[in-house]
Amino acid sequence: MKLPTIIEAEKLITGAEQRNPGAWLGHSKTAAYCARAIAEQCDNLNADTAYILGLLHDIGRREDITDMRHIIDGYQFMKSLNYDNCAHICLTHSFPYKDIRSYNGQNDCTAEETEFITSFLDNIEYDDYDRLIQLCDALALPNGATYIEKRLVDVVIRRGFNDLTIPKWKAFLELKDYFDKKTGTDIYKLIGV
């Protein structure tokens, strides 16, 4: 795995906080906490890896207040540090439903970047780290973990919806079922909701 250590990842978040403070930092810390708590109950996942991937999934927001751009900014920043696994998660975390048009918000990427993201998604199979961070993104409010439905409504109120919102919501609910089965429990119990 090409990943920073936990200490390095936390330093990256502290640096990002100085560049572009905002609610996204609390959200990232909650996502990291949820990822660790769920991964600890999965035989094929490492809890520290899950924590680091969760903490850095939105690191692209260090650049500016942006919409879909944050995923490409995060990908490029992590690639520049050779943290390829983090870069991968920066691109996949927003697409539990593998269609770029399902993004909640504006596509503020260039046509070339949009094509790159589309082709990246078309050419990979998601693994359980992709699935876990997609799920945790939907469990993480800035002030703590919550029910998926609450977070999804929060996102739609802030960013709007489109005709792929419902299939995307179904994809999130399927992820919860997937990890409920994988952990043998209700993941809400693991994250203290």
Among 73, 113, 130, 137, binds Fe ion (CB under 5 A): 137
Tokens matching residue 62: 């260090």
* In the complex, minimum distance from the CB of residue 135 to Fe ion, in angstroms, rounded to a whole number: 11
**Residues of this chain, 28-87, that bind Fe ion according to CB under 5 A:** 58
Per-residue contact flags (x/-) with Fe ion for residues 149 to 178, judged by CB under 5 A: ------------------------------
Q: How far is the CB of 79 from Fe ion (least distance, A)?
A: 19
Q: Pick between residue 58 and residue 73 the one whose CB is nearest to Fe ion.
A: 58
- From CA 154, how far away is CA 152, in angstroms rounded? 5
Q: Do 14 and 29 contact (CB within 8 A), yes or no?
A: no
Q: Where are the alpha helices (DSSP H) in the chain?
A: 6-19, 23-39, 47-56, 69-80, 84-92, 111-122, 128-137, 148-159, 165-183, 187-190
Shortest reach from residue 61's CB to Fe ion, in Å = 8
Q: Which is nearer to Fe ion, 22 or 185 (CB)?
A: 22
Q: How far is the CB of 31 from Fe ion (least distance, A)?
A: 6
Note the residues at the interface with Fe ion (CB under 5 A). 58, 137
